[in-house]
Structure 1
Amino acid sequence: MNTKMLHDSICRRQSIQNDYERIKSSGSEANSDDDDHEPEVNVCRISAIGLFVNKFVEGCFLSMIMGRNILYPFFGIYLNAAGNSFNSIPAVFATIWATKIFSAIFSDALPLFGKRRLPYMVIGWIIAASFLFSACLHEYPEPYYGVTNCTRNTSLVLNPRASESAFFYVLSLSGALFGVGIATVATDALTVEYAKREPLKTRDKVLAYLNIAQFFGALFATILSGFGLNSTEYGGSWCTSYIDFEDILLIYGVLCVVCTFFTLTATHEFPVDPKKLMPIKDHLAGIWKTVQSSMFLKMAVYIFLSGCFADVQSSASVKIKAYYAGVQPITTGIVGALNSFLVIGSIVIFTKYFSNTDWRKVTIFIKINIILLTAFAQLITIFDVVRNQYFYLLADETSCTLFLGILIYIAINLSAELSNESQEATTYGLLATIRLLTNPISTAIGNSVSAPFDVVSNDRYIRDTKEDQWSIAYAIIATHVVNSVSVLTVYYFLPKNKFELNELKLQSTHSKKKGLVFVGVISVVFVLAITLIMLSAVPQTQCLQVVGGQGCSNKN
């Protein structure tokens, strides 16, 4: 069966089903009001508002924690964390985020109060709020550098132990992120259930609308951190600090409470079919069968290899942004807001006009352009050709954001089409876990590749000699060479579109041996990720090159 035949067959069956449901509903007014038996969903109705609120708040957290909107001004500037340590913080969060796969299993197999999604959404938001509110009660540290005449004075070290405070806040944010993970994995599963009630031809509309809500959340978070943390202590230009990092944590705690309210009052969950609900034992057996699927394994290998190489970033990146480009939080907020609209626009345009475009060709084109644009912006800044925060952000981030929405659209549809009925959360979670576990690996690769060029020390950026510039440039070039490896994975593993993916899924075979190899590799990677994170967190081992240090033999 070729792609066109599969497409026509699915659309024909869907058309017959829609005609039947339309005739049935027109003959009975009572049935037309019964939401539980609608073949399709309307995401604009009141019962779906809570889902939009969940995606909005999820976008806020992903922008704040998984992105670097708050990490840069607080950890990178205020606490002055070393480049390798700064890169390790997102790796910590990625590992915590990966644990949501266990929440997915419980959400699929263990309903609470007769529901599989809503109770877990509420529990997750309550856990997140608890950690955020407790962090607000902690004594707030002083900044690393002092301020003289409304200017951050790099020769005046006010709090040399400031970076040690990072551990507490990383721990608090990790706890909050764990709760958010519980909530969002159930939200994502409910999103997939909504999407699968659409015909295949228009299935991407629900996903697009809800992800637009998520990006509006990211927009809010970007503006909040950009304007809120723009005082001199955070690398900004304002002499007065209107809010601090702890105030932002309080705001996010309140958002968690608001999200809990809307989840309880304005979110519709479809009834669970008792015949489709499996015990955990059978559910795990189903997961094991999914893992053995050749199609799932192929996508898992693609996601793993692509993530390991595409996300490699030099430990010099944050210092280039802070010392050379002089990027201020408010500028990050303004440009980040623009970027959010660009992402939304790219998703809408691609969904409307290019949804059937070859995923493979598009992804290869985008990855190559992102590598070239990022390298250009960083090298121009390093060699002092142009050192301007607006140029740096527009060239390095905004130009790449034009393509980001398309990659997100492809990734979301890939996960949605690959997920299995009654195991939406688990399949979705497995793919997300594989992607997240690549973050600590890519961080370790980036730190290790950068280590021989000695780009961790602040003195190198303050001196700014030609020798210093070339060392930093070599580190940047080395990481982009590694990035280019991710382009090769697209050609060999990524399907052309959702129709080819469904065709390959129908032809998929199962292999117990390959499944065991997959589980073994993922387990080793997970242990390795935890080990690398612990090594980067302990002061006695931060000097190791594997976590981006200069070697413990060079330690003073």
Structure 2
Amino acid sequence: KLIILMMIANFGTVMAYSGFNGALMDVSQRESEATRGSVVADVNIVHYVFMVASSFMTGIGLNSEDYGGTFSWTMGFNAIMWVCAAASLLTIPFSWYCIQEVKGERASMPPFRYLFNLLQERVIYRYAAFRFFYNVFSQITVTASRGTYLIKLRGLYWNWRYIIIVCEVAVVCIDVIPTMLTIWDVYRSQWFWLGVPLIAEVPSAAASYVTQLFMLEIDNTKGFEATLMGLGVTTESVGTPFATVITKTIDGYFDIERTFIEQDDHHVRSQVTYTYIIAYMLNLVSVIFVFLLPKQKAQIHELQREGHRSKFWGIVTHKRLP
């Protein structure tokens, strides 16, 4: 029963995000070319800040012995759900009274036909391939705002490929320090283990923001703004199961189950180290696919003017989506 209710709640969240993404893209495309992407950056920063607050609430509120923690008190699951429900209800009056939207014309074609035609464009199917393969090899879930703000402030015209490459390498280099020191018992502390990787949020958030800038430059999206934003999210999400399968397959060849981890001997530490090295190598492999991504806004517009289309790659991209 709880799972079904949570599925319904998640469905509502997806629907709300769809409308939000459409409105966000519509507003962003009204910006001048020099500042286009600033609105998305501001929204992302607010989003990340509240994600941090949410994670902090659950981390502190659900840290009693019942949840595997050490605190003598707890908010409890019901209290967490009430807070989430209240936060969701709070958005209703803001959505009703604060969003001014002029009713537009009906879209010129059915959304599925538009999407299929869009997927045949070279600039789109290359972008979809990049989002898919990059996510498969660099599945890192973080929350941050500083990296997004930095790109908004100084890097809207930096080479997108270089930004993503530098950010991915930085994430790996930062993460490897606490990981290896903890594995080999050089220094072990829950605050060190959880705290240092927070620095990796900065480059990772910057890379995520750069991939969003692409969609703002696509022409002829009137009436399909939410569809286009949904395409980017979907192509990235489809890679998650593949990343999970690769992880499970690789880990299956090493002695890293809980029974081995509890022994904490040289053999187990070596096994865990090997798995992390492989994971880091695959993370770095992901930067190869940035060459499917245009360097900057001008290259996107150039590809669109060329009008290169491929029905074959459009079908391949369409079949890869759920």
The alignment's TM-score, normalised by the length of structure 1, stands at 0.55
* Cα distance, 1:253–1:385 mapped onto 2, change above 3 Å: same
Deviations, residues 494-517 of structure 1 (Å, cap 9, x unaligned): 222222222222223112122122
Query: Aligned Cα RMSD in Å?
Result: 2.1
**Match for 2:33 among 187, 200, 220?**
200
**Match for 2:86 among 254, 259, 276?**
254
Corresponding residue for residue 392 of structure 1: 193
**Match for 2:294 among 495, 518, 521?**
495
* Cα distance, 1:454–1:250 mapped onto 2, change above 3 Å: farther
Corresponding residue for residue 240 of structure 1: 73
Show structure 1 runs of 4+ deviating over 4 A: none
Q: Which has the larger radius of gyration?
A: 1
Corresponding residue for residue 278 of structure 1: 108
Corresponding residue for residue 298 of structure 1: 126
Task: Determine the C-alpha separation between the residues in 2 that align with 1:363 and 1:413.
Answer: 13
Q: Tell me how far 1:441 sits from its aligned partner.
A: 0.8
Q: Tell me how far 1:403 sits from its aligned partner.
A: 0.7
Q: Tell me how far 1:252 sits from its aligned partner.
A: 0.9
Show structure 2 runs of 5+ residues with no match: none
The alignment's TM-score, normalised by the length of structure 2, stands at 0.92
Q: Which has the larger displacement, 175-184 or 439-448?
A: 175-184
Corresponding residue for residue 191 of structure 1: 24
Task: Determine the C-alpha separation between the residues in 2 that align with 1:173 and 1:197.
Answer: 36
**Match for 2:151 among 316, 334, 350?**
350
Task: Determine the C-alpha separation between the residues in 2 that align with 1:452 and 1:193.
Answer: 49
Task: Determine the C-alpha separation between the residues in 2 that align with 1:235 and 1:270.
Answer: 51
CA contact (8 A) 2:148 2:202 kept: no
Q: Tell me how far 1:298 sits from its aligned partner.
A: 0.8
Task: Determine the C-alpha separation between the residues in 2 that align with 1:370 and 1:347.
Answer: 15
Equivalent residues in 2 for 1:144-155, closer than 5 Å:
none
CA contact (8 A) 1:294 1:511 kept: yes
Corresponding residue for residue 90 of structure 1: none
Deviations, residues 164-184 of structure 1 (Å, cap 9, x unaligned): xxxx4xx54333222211110
Task: Determine the C-alpha separation between the residues in 2 that align with 1:461 and 1:249.
Answer: 34
Q: Tell me how far 1:418 sits from its aligned partner.
A: 3.1
- Asked which structure has the greater RCO (Cα within 8 Å, sep 6+), the reply is 2
CA contact (8 A) 2:128 2:232 kept: yes
Query: Aligned pair count?
Result: 321
Show structure 1 runs of 5+ residues with no match: 1-133, 136-167, 314-338, 527-556
SS of the equivalent of 2:252 reads: helix
Equivalent residues in 2 for 1:163-178, closer than 5 Å:
168=3, 171-178=4-11
Task: Determine the C-alpha separation between the residues in 1 that align with 2:140 and 2:146.
Answer: 27
Task: Determine the C-alpha separation between the residues in 2 that align with 1:312 and 1:413.
Answer: 19
Q: Tell me how far 1:188 sits from its aligned partner.
A: 0.7
Task: Determine the C-alpha separation between the residues in 2 that align with 1:346 and 1:480.
Answer: 21
Q: Tell me how far 1:279 sits from its aligned partner.
A: 5.1
* Cα distance, 1:439–1:503 mapped onto 2, change above 3 Å: same
* Cα distance, 1:362–1:382 mapped onto 2, change above 3 Å: same
CA contact (8 A) 1:310 1:486 kept: yes
* Cα distance, 1:174–1:445 mapped onto 2, change above 3 Å: farther
Equivalent residues in 2 for 1:60-459, closer than 5 Å:
135=2, 168=3, 171-241=4-74, 243-274=75-106, 277-278=107-108, 280=110, 283-311=111-139, 343-395=144-196, 397-418=197-218, 420-456=221-257, 458-459=258-259
Deviations, residues 197-225 of structure 1 (Å, cap 9, x unaligned): 11111122221222222122212212211
Amino acid at match of 2:30: R
Deviations, residues 212-255 of structure 1 (Å, cap 9, x unaligned): 221222122122112211223333331222x1123212211222
Corresponding residue for residue 462 of structure 1: 262
